[in-house]
Each structure stands twice: as C-alpha cells, then as structure tokens.
Amino acid sequence: ATAVRITVNDQIPVSSNSQITVEAVELSNGKLNSETGLVTWDLDLKPGETKELILTYSVKYPKNQTVILE
C-alpha cells in the first residue's frame, strides 16, 4: 500500500559492423547508453499502478549480408 521506486533495465542490439546500424525507435522515455545498448527506466509507481514500457528498434544492413538478432 505504499509507492515504490524501481529501475528497469533492458537492452537493444549493438553492432560491431559499421555497415549494420541499429536505431532506437521508441524507448518510452528510457535512457539509452549507445555504446552498450542498455536502456534504463527509473520509475515511481503508486500503489496498484501499472506502467507499460515500449522498446522498439530498427536494424539496417546491406542486402548481401545475413543478420542474426538474439
């Protein structure tokens, strides 16, 4: 019955190949570390409150390459 402060961590892929780019599209106001791909949200939630976090990204790569996202 009390408010809580939580930190949520997630990650987007990071490419080591300069021909492959990963771009964050939507992070729901999360903070992105572009070197590691780590996305962090610091949330204050009231009792019974729910929060939906959206994380989307796009990957662009040459047609002659195969990309595996894990």
Chain segment 56-67, per-residue pLDDT in tens: 999 999 999 888
Mean pLDDT score across all residues of the chain: 94
Closest CA to 5 of 35, 34, 47, 36: 47
Buried-state track 41-56, b at ≥16 Cβ within 10 A, e below 16: beeeeeeeeeeeeebe
Q: Which helix (H) or strand (E) holds 65?
A: none
Chain segment 23-42, per-residue pLDDT in tens: 999 999 999 999 999 999 99
User: Which residue matches tokens 């796009």?
Assistant: 58
The pLDDT of residue 68 is above 90: no
Count how many Cα atoms sit within 13 Å of the Cα of residue 31 in the half-sphere of its side chain.
Answer: 6
39, 28 Cβ separation under 8 angstroms? no
The pLDDT of residue 1 is above 90: no
Instruction: Give the global pTM.
Output: 0.85
